Amino acid sequence: MSTSTPERSPANASDSVTDRQRAPRHIAIIMDGNGRWAQQRELPRIEGHRNGVSSVRRTVEECARLDIEQLTLFCLSSENWKRPSHELDFLMHLLEQYMIEERALLMEQGIRVQVIGRREGIPVRVLNEINKTIEITSTNKGTTLCLAINYGARGEISDAVQQIARRIEQGEISADQIDEKLIADNLYTSGMPDPDLLIRTSGEMRISNFLLWQISYAELWVTEKYWPEFEESDLHQAMEIYATRNRRFGGLTS
């Protein structure tokens, strides 16, 4: 897993990422470090989450400008429910607020919203705003913004296995028909391209139960910056480094 290198100027980055043949089709981001960003500044952890929303906005807008087909953001993991209730309540408030306040911008930029993860535990009022935003943006043709909310990859794979098992029990398919395509078709991400580039902020060298099936051949890039510090230039830098990688997918190059 690679860590970030010294930044280049945003102008140079912007020039290089315009090479569409070398740009990632799908970028996934583990947005880590909100709480530590706040603690370093002697602020409540929730202030880190509040400032993280600005990074979300910057990143979404830049991916739309660069014509990235899909951006997937790890917003809330299934393990995050272990956090203090006041922090979870604030995260739900931020999510509800984002769904309401960003709709006009999402429509203006042609961004289509999708959500993956289990819906149990998410307040009804928040689910209603999520569903409304998904519906309103469903015919947009620009970047797909996929939000992973109450998401865990092991849970996703377990749910897919259960779906397949039910189809076998009902006689729709036989066990020897199970292959990688069938499994992928039963994941939350069915119909989506696999990520080409996985970005993680805060310098942590782990995947954290995120898209374990889908990132089999993704290129990984880690920055020491906390998520509230992540800017367009960091996205450009990650894309520049991605463009230099030799993606062999287990094969050899001539």
Spatial distance between the Cα atoms of 97 and 26, rounded to a whole number of angstroms:
26
Spatial distance between the Cα atoms of 186 and 250, rounded to a whole number of angstroms:
25
**Which candidate in 12, 80, 140, 209 is catalytic?**
80
- Distance from the Cα of residue 20 to its chain's centroid: 21
Q: Vertex 67, ends 9 and 221: CA angle to 5°?
A: 55
DSSP letter, residue 4: P
Spatial distance between the Cα atoms of 230 and 227, rounded to a whole number of angstroms:
5
Contact 90, 51 (CB under 8 A): no
Amino acid letter for position 167: R
- Active site annotation includes 196: no
Q: Please, what is the end-to-end C-alpha distance for the chain in angstroms?
A: 24
**Which candidate in 32, 51, 150, 196 is catalytic?**
32
- Please report where in the chains the tokens 């992928």 appear, as a residue: 184
Spatial distance between the Cα atoms of 74 and 152, rounded to a whole number of angstroms:
10
Contact 30, 201 (CB under 8 A): yes
Amino acid letter for position 13: A
- Active site annotation includes 246: no
Contact 129, 54 (CB under 8 A): no
* Catalytic sites, residue numbers: 32, 80
